[in-house]
Structure 1
Amino acid sequence: MTSNKGKAKGGLQQKHIHSRISYLFQAATYLAETGRKAQQCGSNQKADDQTANKHCEESAMSEEAPSRQSPHAVLPSQDDQGAGTTAAEAGSAPRIQDIGLSRQLFAHLRAVSLKSQIRISPKIKHSICKRCDQLLVPGCSATTYVENKSRKGKKPWADVLVITCVACGISKRFPVGAKRQLRREKRPTQPKEQSANVTALLER
Structure 2
Amino acid sequence: MAKSRSVPNKHLHARATFLYQAATYLTLQSRALNPELEGNHLSSDDRADHEGARVVRHSGQAMQLGSHLRAVSTKGQVRLSAEMKRSLCKACNTVLVPGKTSTHIMENKSRGGRKPWADILVIQCNFCGSQKRLPTGSNKQQGKSGRSTNKSAKAFTMCLGTAETVQCGASQAGTEDVPMYGHEEAH
Smaller-chain TM-score range? 0.5 to 0.7
Q: What is the identity, as a one-letter code, of the residue corresponding to 2:38?
A: K
Instruction: Give 1:44 deviation, angstroms.
Output: 10
Q: Alpha carbons of 1:174 and 1:113: their partners in 2 closer, same or farther (altered >3 Å)?
A: same
Rounded Cα–Cα distance in structure 2 between residues aligned with 1:17 and 1:181: 31
1:55-134 correspondence runs (5 A): 99-134=59-94
Q: What is the identity, as a one-letter code, of the residue corresponding to 1:22?
A: T
Tell me the C-alpha RMSD between the 2 structures.
Answer: 3.0
Rounded Cα–Cα distance in structure 2 between residues aligned with 1:13 and 1:106: 22
Q: Tell me the matched-pair count.
A: 139
Unaligned runs of 5+ in 1: 1-7, 55-95, 198-204
> Is the counterpart of residue 188 in structure 1 residue 146 in structure 2?
yes
Aligned structure 1 segments of 4 or more residues deviating by more than 4 angstroms: 42-45
Rounded Cα–Cα distance in structure 1 between residues aligned with 2:77 and 2:148: 30
Which residue matches 1:171?
131
Q: Alpha carbons of 1:152 and 1:173: their partners in 2 closer, same or farther (altered >3 Å)?
A: same
> Is the counterpart of residue 26 in structure 1 residue 21 in structure 2?
yes
Which residue matches 1:142?
102
SS in structure 1 of the partner of residue 59 of structure 2 = helix
Question: TM-score if structure 2 supplies the norm length?
Answer: 0.63
Rounded Cα–Cα distance in structure 2 between residues aligned with 1:182 and 1:13: 28
Q: What is the identity, as a one-letter code, of the residue corresponding to 1:188?
A: G
SS in structure 1 of the partner of residue 129 of structure 2 = coil
Q: What is the identity, as a one-letter code, of the residue corresponding to 1:14?
A: N
Rounded Cα–Cα distance in structure 2 between residues aligned with 1:20 and 1:28: 12
Q: Alpha carbons of 1:27 and 1:182: their partners in 2 closer, same or farther (altered >3 Å)?
A: farther
Q: Per chain length, whose mean CA-contact separation is higher, i.e. which structure has more relative contact order (CA < 8 Å, sep 6+)?
A: 1
Rounded Cα–Cα distance in structure 1 between residues aligned with 2:66 and 2:105: 25
Q: What is the identity, as a one-letter code, of the residue corresponding to 1:27?
A: A
Rounded Cα–Cα distance in structure 2 between residues aligned with 1:190 and 1:158: 25
Instruction: Give 1:114 deviation, angstroms.
Output: 0.8
Q: Which one has the bigger helix percentage?
A: 1
| Superimposed CA distance per residue, residues 102-143 of structure 1 (whole angstroms, 9 cap, x where no aligned partner) | 111111111111111111111111111000111112222211
Rounded Cα–Cα distance in structure 1 between residues aligned with 2:124 and 2:14: 29
Instruction: Give 1:190 deviation, angstroms.
Output: 7.4
